[in-house]
Amino acid sequence: MAVTQDKAHRAWRSAERIKRLSDRLVGVGPIGLGLDGILAWVPVAGTVYSLGAGGLLLVEGMRGGATLLTLGRMAAYLAVDSASSTVPVAGWAVDTLFPGHLMAAKALQKDIEARHGPSTLPDSWERKRKARAGRRDVKI
């Protein structure tokens, strides 16, 4: 089954949202913190979130028609990220600092861009942000 460019770009945008939510809600330079890092300190919740977000990324990878090599790379990043959260304290610290979801999302996005080119449609979050910024410029 051939994956259309539109379907692949929707997967790219979904990966972007998961990446931001999981590992880049707050970013300072190359270091970011998201729900995955915060929930890592909450027993069970961190693992559940990590597995759920990782599963969504893999599903988006399949929907976007990612190669088996890319899906394997994504699974490896996500396995390390999820497995580290099972070890109390030290594992939670590693999970906070290891951006597994970000790395998996970037691998998927590079795969999609290589096969379908960059998306011409902005992410819905980006559209909303620009719309809000435009409203501030209106003077009454």
- Residue 74 one-letter amino acid: M
Residue 57 lies in a domain: yes
Hey, what's the torsion of the CAs at 44, 46, 51, 57, to 10 degrees?
A: 160
Residue 16 lies in a domain: yes
Looking at residue 85, its pLDDT comes to 76
What does the DSSP 8-state code read for residue 122? P
The parent domain of residue 47 ranges over 5-27+34-116
Q: What is the mean pLDDT of residues 7-15?
A: 94
Residue 138 lies in a domain: no
Residue 133 lies in a domain: no
Q: Looking at the 3D structure of the chain, how many domains does it have?
A: 1
Residue 105 lies in a domain: yes
pTM here is 0.81
Mean pLDDT across the chain: 86
Residue 66 lies in a domain: yes
Residue 139 lies in a domain: no
- pLDDT tens digits for range 69-115: 999 999 999 999 888 877 888 888 888 889 999 999 999 999 999 99
Among 42-46, 117-121, 136-140, the range scoring the smallest mean pLDDT is 136-140
Report the alpha-carbon distance of residue 53 to residue 22 in Å, rounded: 8
Report the alpha-carbon distance of residue 59 to residue 53 in Å, rounded: 10
Backbone dihedral region for residue 109 (phi beyond 0: left; psi -120 to 50: alpha; all else: beta):
alpha
- Is 50 exceeded by the pLDDT of residue 33? yes
Report the alpha-carbon distance of residue 58 to residue 72 in Å, rounded: 9
Residue 59 lies in a domain: yes
Looking at residue 132, its pLDDT comes to 59
